[in-house]
């Protein structure tokens, strides 16, 4: 599709999808997230040539939350290798809510099913290199900055503090992982790293840029240079297909058919092989924790642009 047609389609889909936000509600279990405007909605797209398209609130800042799980996985695979991660975490979907603990007790493997649920993500956070939680958090932010072609990214300190103060479920998960012998390091230190990564601040254009890197199997289409290994990008995308949209991943694969990862901050990162990355911001969430307007927009874009890769 020509540039003019792509820009027009994105703008029209944004307008047609915005009303879906009324079907969702902003996250409140992290108090700082409750302050988001439920009507905010932005879309961005970065294609395989590095061209950027945007509509609505695409430059509004928000925290990546669970989208950080994909970036943390890519980071630890880059630093320590694939075996270091998957000797402790599986590769299978669960069908359970992202913060479920029951599978750790009932599964034969006694380890998290995948890196994109909270249990698996906490294990990955515990593997990050560094001398302290603050150092590990800074190194992770520097890695995300490299993916985005800049020196670093900001962290929302208010969201970080709010999440750290209200994380009873994640503490329960982390202590159980420690009891199983899966979690490295001290529980509170590992959780601090996890809270820091979730509070990284981005916009929809940033997510689209990361999606474009993944769509090109680790090549940055803007700078025309490799930023992560092809194998790392492919592992991340495979897990995004099967596990990226919480317990709505199967339905999303059928309806939209592209690798994607959502976060309760309202973001969705999507990647279409060899074609484009898509970034969404819409903090009004459905019952599974996915952006209501974002889901509607991605369904429409998939149909109109024939994006599905499945």
Does residue 125 sit within a domain? yes
Residues 55 and 18 grouped into a single domain: yes
Residues 149 and 104 grouped into a single domain: yes
Residues 70 and 58 grouped into a single domain: no
Supply φ then ψ for residue 54, to 5 degrees.
-150, 155
Residues 77 and 166 grouped into a single domain: yes
Domain ranges, residue 260: 3-62+203-305
Please identify, among 198, 218, 250, the residue that sits at the C-terminal boundary of a domain.
Answer: 198
Catalytic residues: 66, 69, 194, 246, 264
Q: Residue 179 contacts by C-beta under 8 Å, 6 or more apart in sequence?
A: none
- Residue where the block lists tokens 């495979």: 238
Q: Give exposure, 28-63, as e/b (b: 16+ Cβ within 10 Å).
A: eebebbeebebebbbbbbbbbeeeebbbbbbebebb
The mean pLDDT value for 102-111 works out to 66
Domain of residue 258, CATH code: 3.40.710.10
pTM of the entire structure? 0.94
The mean pLDDT value for 2-18 works out to 89
How many residues are recorded in the chain?
A: 310
Q: Give 181 or 82, the one with higher predicted confidence.
A: 82
Does residue 310 sit within a domain? no
Residues 105 and 176 grouped into a single domain: yes
Q: pLDDT band for position 282 (50/70/90)?
A: very high
**How wide is the angle at C-alpha 22 spanned by C-alphas 21 and 28, nearest 5°?**
80
Tens of pLDDT along 119-140?
999 999 999 999 999 999 999 9
How far is 179 from 192, CA to CA, in rounded Å? 18
- The sheet carrying 260-262 orders its strands as 52-56, 42-47, 276-281, 267-272, 260-262
Q: Give 139 or 101, the one with higher predicted confidence.
A: 139
Q: Residue 106 contacts by C-beta under 8 Å, 6 or more apart in sequence?
A: none
Residue 301 pLDDT: 98
Q: pLDDT band for position 185 (50/70/90)?
A: confident
The mean pLDDT value for 103-127 works out to 84
Number of domains observed in the structure of the chain:
2
Please identify, among 198, 233, 265, the residue that sits at the C-terminal boundary of a domain.
Answer: 198
The mean pLDDT value for 60-86 works out to 97
């Amino acid at each position: 599709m020509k540039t003019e047609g792509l820009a027009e389609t994105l703008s029209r889909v944004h307008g047609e999808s915005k009303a879906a936000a009324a079907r969702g509600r902003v996250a409140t279990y992290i108090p700082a997230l409750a302050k988001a405007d439920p009507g905010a909605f932005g879309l961005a797209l970065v294609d395989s040539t590095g061209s950027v398209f945007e509509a609505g609130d695409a430059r509004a800042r928000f925290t990546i939350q669970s989208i950080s799980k994909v970036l943390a996985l890519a980071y630890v695979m880059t630093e320590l290798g694939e075996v270091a991660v998957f000797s402790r975490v599986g590769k299978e979907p669960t069908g359970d809510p992202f913060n479920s603990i029951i599978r750790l007790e009932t599964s034969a493997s006694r380890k998290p099913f995948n890196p994109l649920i909270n249990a698996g993500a906490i294990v990955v956070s515990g593997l990050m290199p560094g001398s302290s939680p603050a150092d590990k958090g800074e190194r992770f932010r520097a890695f995300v900055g490299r993916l985005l072609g800049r020196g670093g990214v900001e962290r929302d300190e208010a969201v970080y503090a709010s999440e750290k103060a209200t994380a009873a479920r994640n503490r329960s998960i982390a202590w159980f992982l420690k009891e199983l012998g899966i979690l490295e390091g001290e529980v509170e230190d590992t959780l601090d790293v996890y809270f820091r990564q979730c509070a990284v601040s981005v916009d929809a254009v940033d997510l689209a840029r990361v999606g474009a890197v993944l769509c090109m199997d680790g090549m940055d289409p803007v700078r025309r240079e490799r930023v992560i290994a092809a194998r790392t990008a492919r592992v991340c995308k495979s897990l995004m297909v099967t596990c990226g949209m919480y317990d709505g991943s199967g339905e999303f694969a059928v309806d939209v058919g592209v690798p994607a990862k959502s976060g309760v901050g309202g973001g969705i990162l999507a990647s279409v092989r060899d074609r484009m990355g898509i970034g969404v911001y819409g903090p009004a969430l459905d019952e599974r924790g996915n952006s209501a307007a974002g889901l509607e927009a991605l369904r429409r874009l998939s149909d109109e642009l024939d994006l599905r890769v499945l």
